[in-house]
Structure 1
Amino acid sequence: MLTVNGQFPGPPLYVRKGERLIVNVYNQGTYNVTIHWHGVKQPRNPWSDGPEYVTQCPIKPGANFSYEIIFSVEEGTLWWHAHSDWTRATVHGPIVVYPKIGTNYPFPKPDAEFPIVLGEWYKGDVMEIIQSALISGGEPNTSDAYTINGQPGDLYNCSKPGTFNIMVDYGKTYLLRLIGSIMNEEMFFAVAQHNLTVVGRDGAYIKPIKTDYIMITPGQTMDILLTANKSPSHYYMAARAYIGASAYDNTTTTAIVKYRGNYSAPSTPAFPSQLPNFTDINAATNFTNRFRALANKEHPIDVPQTVDTRLYITISVGAVPCVNNSCQGPAGGKLAASLNNISFVEPGVDLLQAYYRKTGGIFTADFPDVPPYFFNFTADGLPSNLSVPLKGTKVKVLEFNSSVEIVFQVTNIFNAAENHPMHLHGYSFYHVGSGFGNFDNKTDPKGYNLVDPPELNTVAVNSNGWAAIRFRADNPGVWFMHCHLERHASWGMDMAFIVKNGPTKLTTIRRPPRYLNPC
């Protein structure tokens, strides 16, 4: 397996708000690799953002690259991960952004903190798994286990001696920095008999949410307060998949919360009875709809009240034909995902260099603002001719400082509707609205929250539904946007924005570093 400094998960990075880091990455593995600093806006610095063939050519085996990571307004928990094929399955780790010296958390300082990284374990080579699936055209193999901080936990026979645990003292409060590094499933998470208070998400603070369970998507992070106020004993923290229709992998990963003190430890820790079932769409929706930005003087927000550019983007999983229907996807085709019916084709030269150096023939600037045709996107039994996307490397160009609204619309092609965690690089955005069914551009905007919407970098778009986001295009560069379900990204559920330079040096893309990896 590919690891960083021999660790799984990889080593955490600790910074204070507004600082910079230089991270030297040496590729001693056998596959190409890049690293993305998920949720870090990297102002004017797309050169160190990391997605392979979008902002850089890969770091080949034996090569290295120095990333300059520029933190600005982020505060809380973020994470880093590989952004080259499926290498992120084992190449990932936490980023902890502390408040600036002289400032404090907007909640009582916790007594201690623990990173809680939700991941997966594959017995096979993950790169071979996805490459085989792309050749055959069918679904990739599922993981063999979920993990908490690299360990599957007691419910898997293989790992009981190594189950991760945290030690707590009665009466103290702990900050759990929860990271959704899962490859292909959203996850429910809970701690037996304990209530949780969510105080941050995606590197921004929120109005506190008291809850007995969490729902987190791949790519998201949450800051969660846990008070050790139960009878001293052993308690499971547990996580399992949320899938709107049927579970992709129906196993459960566990870790143990252990109280210090003299008591008789149970043979089996208490299990969280409040952990929702795999298909509990109401639990997922009710939790997600509770988020509101803190939006106070110390942590202000700036929601665009008017919009210059509107995009209505359909999210689809379809298929392209194979000769003699010889592939393993639907109707003998090859699975292909798309945004507005465009299935992204990875270029041979990274988009950022092509744009910066004005190299022609690498991409076209005609990503559509709306889908090519409209139909009942969430109907059952949609005809198969709606499922064939076009292949292309298309980008959307945005004027500097323009206000942008994107409405993501899930489609039910192949009756395969599921939640989609959409992640935008280089920005946080405001999640102003969500709903089920087809978005109505006359009535649904009336229900937008333009006062205190949460500021995110990854939004879960409801199965058979839609989500609306707004942001201001004030970070020049080339910025990737994609579904964080890794199989969907591999099938082409990706696109890129080019944000033009502003009028001054401080609103212009920085010059590239002296060394860029060749393609």
Structure 2
Amino acid sequence: MAPFLLLELLNRLVILALLLGSSSFCDSGKWVWFNVSESFRLLFFRVIPYQVILINGQFPGPQLDVVTNDNLVLNLINKLDVPFLLTWNGIKQRKNSWQDGVLGTNCPIPPGSNYTYNFQPKDQIGSFTYFPSTGFHRAAGGYGAINVYQRPRIPVPYATPDGDFTLLVGDWYKTGHKQALQASLDSGKSLPFPDGVLINGHSQATFSGDQATLSAGKTYKFRVSNVGLKNTLNFRIQGHTMKLIEVEGSHVVQNMYDSLDVHVGQSVNVLVTLNQAPKDYYIVASTRFTPKKLVASGVLHYTNSKTPVSGPLPAEPSYQLHGSMEQARTYRWNLTANAARPNPQGSFHYGKITTTKTIVLSNSAPLINGKQRYAVNGVSYVNADTPLKLADYFNIPGVFSTSSLQTVPNGGAATVATSVIPTSLHDFIEVVFQNDENAMQSWHLDGYDFWVVGFGSGQWAPAKRSTYNLVDALTRHTTQVYPNSWTAILVSLDNQGMWNMRSAIWERQYLGQQFYLRVWSAVQSLANEYFIPTNALLCGKAVGKSH
């Protein structure tokens, strides 16, 4: 029997034991096998092959369709020649940062080996993604969609659509992720401008259906996620308007839009009614706020259409940064809609809670030892050989620092550190992202969603709190910060663990624009956090520890 077939047979027996013995699961289960490998695929106009990371032979990877609170048991077999991890973008991992899939919580999966993830999309409905968190693998693919559906009898605030399409859009480099991109970053250089934009792995795509499912007068859901590396994308459909219904797990007030700005790491859901003449129409994703425009186009094909797409591609909106910020302010929480549980989304009155701490985070792009780095409050993060979560659990000293990163900018010289900000379970904190650079920023917090309460230009100051939306700001897991501007969020720290706060722009994350938030309680119990998994990989200073 081939080694990988034998390994997979053994893994299935192990997974069965994990599922039956897990204390964290009480609902239905979904078993998934991911085989990670590299191969070549035709991407741009399907004429030139490029090396990509495949999952189960697919690029993008398989779509995970689950129901909220499903037990997801996912066995990943790493057939690459380097260590590998996947992380779950927007999945909260309630009480379970052990499964977060980043280098601060998990040892990477060695080549020719496997690891079984064991987690739930707990009390969530919406569109999320997964992608590689190790090295610069994200530039080579390995990403896919996670679509979390409501349980039976949990209503959503719109009629069941006649079809459901997932669109993974993002900028793309034609050069190799290891030999060129990662090597360039390691040598102290920033990345060049990307080469193109892809929609579901191609620069051109078609969205159609059969006679019964795609026709004039019907309404379809489009799930749009920006899985790119660095650029905001604008999404639009020729001749059609879009009704925004959900943003990263939050049902929103259902406004109509001609186009939507989707920033790196973000996801939106829209409804599109086919109310035009039955022919083909362009679907477009293009870069925003860039001197050179990169465009990927798709085709929306009406049933029985005999008229191909025609005319110029629909133009991007004329508004720029200020208009994009104004669009973001129109995203409002639907306070009358149910969440994943049968209670209104707005029943938690976040605007009436006193914050326990304010953290102001200023990003920068310093040179350290003559090399390009990116920093938060003057500290550029470096990965440790030992995952921070393991070091914390086993009380291993010297792995990370809780004093190197200050909670306000200090204007000092840039340094490097494995930085952690300590917080307490059940703190309610205000975080302000201050962006004094001319580049768009995108910030993400693992294990949480947060209320995006304010955007503004220039410097943030306490007086800016008077502009906050403390009534119906939506929750999400990733927020943009416009150039020379600020964004404020509120976070209820109800999820114990070690959680990664990072730039979603992967070049910046790779070169240090990240840190970890340690959410801690002196009471160690299953009510706060699950035990270390029995199959946890140990590496660095944790090798040989008993668990």
TM over 0.5: yes
Q: 99, 105, 121: which one pairs with 1:55?
A: 105
TM-score using structure 2 length: 0.84
Regions of 4+ moved over 3 Å: 268-272
**2:375 aligned with 1:338, yes or no?**
yes
Q: Which residue of 1 aligns with 2:441?
A: 420
CA distance in 2, matches of 1:321, 1:136: 11
CA distance in 1, matches of 2:466, 2:173: 45
SS in 2 for 1:3: strand
Matches within 5 A, 1:90-129: 90-129=141-180
CA distance in 2, matches of 1:369, 1:217: 25
CA distance in 1, matches of 2:197, 2:295: 7
Contact preservation (8 Å) 1:190, 1:272: no
Q: Which residue of 1 aligns with 2:239?
A: 193
CA distance in 2, matches of 1:179, 1:452: 23
Matches within 5 A, 1:247-286: 247=291, 250-261=293-304, 263-266=305-308, 268-276=309-317, 280-286=320-326
SS in 1 for 2:384: coil
Q: Which residue of 2 aligns with 1:64?
A: 114
CA distance in 2, matches of 1:143, 1:30: 26
Q: 394, 409, 431: which one pairs with 1:371?
A: 409
Root mean square deviation, CA, Å: 1.7
1:115-148 alpha-carbon deviations (Å, 9 max, x no partner)? 0110344332212233221233112244322111
Matches within 5 A, 1:374-453: 388-412=413-437, 417-441=438-462, 443-453=463-473
- Higher mean alpha-carbon deviation, 495-504 vs 431-440, is at 495-504
SS in 1 for 2:365: strand
CA shift for structure 1 position 20: 1.6
Q: Which residue of 1 aligns with 2:479?
A: 459
| Alignment gaps of 5+ in structure 2 | 1-51, 339-343, 540-547
Corresponding letter in the other structure for 2:369 = P
Corresponding letter in the other structure for 2:449 = S
CA shift for structure 1 position 82: 1.0
CA shift for structure 1 position 410: 0.4
Cα pair distance change 1:270/1:78, threshold 3 Å: farther
1:433-453 alpha-carbon deviations (Å, 9 max, x no partner)? 110000121x21011111111
Cα pair distance change 1:83/1:212, threshold 3 Å: same
SS in 1 for 2:54: coil
Contact preservation (8 Å) 1:235, 1:270: no
CA shift for structure 1 position 504: 6.5
CA distance in 1, matches of 2:406, 2:275: 54
Q: Which residue of 2 aligns with 1:84?
A: 134
1:305-359 alpha-carbon deviations (Å, 9 max, x no partner)? 210011011111221233xxxxxxxxxxx11111111100111110100011111
CA shift for structure 1 position 275: 2.1
Q: Which residue of 2 aligns with 1:29?
A: 80
CA distance in 1, matches of 2:461, 2:97: 35
CA shift for structure 1 position 104: 2.3
Q: 156, 161, 178: which one pairs with 2:224?
A: 178
CA shift for structure 1 position 271: 4.4
Contact preservation (8 Å) 1:400, 1:474: yes
CA shift for structure 1 position 206: 1.0
CA distance in 2, matches of 1:134, 1:404: 34
CA shift for structure 1 position 70: 1.4
**2:188 aligned with 1:137, yes or no?**
yes
CA distance in 1, matches of 2:307, 2:316: 23
1:26-64 alpha-carbon deviations (Å, 9 max, x no partner)? 000122210111111111111111112x01111121111
Q: 27, 32, 39: which one pairs with 2:90?
A: 39
CA shift for structure 1 position 185: 0.6
Corresponding letter in the other structure for 1:398 = T
Contact preservation (8 Å) 1:192, 1:271: no
CA shift for structure 1 position 109: 1.1
Corresponding letter in the other structure for 2:175 = G
| Alignment gaps of 5+ in structure 1 | 154-162, 323-333, 374-385
TM-score using structure 1 length: 0.88
Corresponding letter in the other structure for 1:335 = Q
Q: Which residue of 2 aligns with 1:218?
A: 264
CA distance in 1, matches of 2:345, 2:480: 23
Cα pair distance change 1:410/1:121, threshold 3 Å: closer
Contact preservation (8 Å) 1:336, 1:491: yes
Corresponding letter in the other structure for 1:308 = T
Q: Which residue of 1 aligns with 2:500?
A: 480
SS in 1 for 2:239: coil
SS in 1 for 2:271: strand
Aligned length: 474
Corresponding letter in the other structure for 1:368 = Q
Contact preservation (8 Å) 2:431, 2:489: yes
Contact preservation (8 Å) 2:175, 2:181: no
**2:277 aligned with 1:234, yes or no?**
no
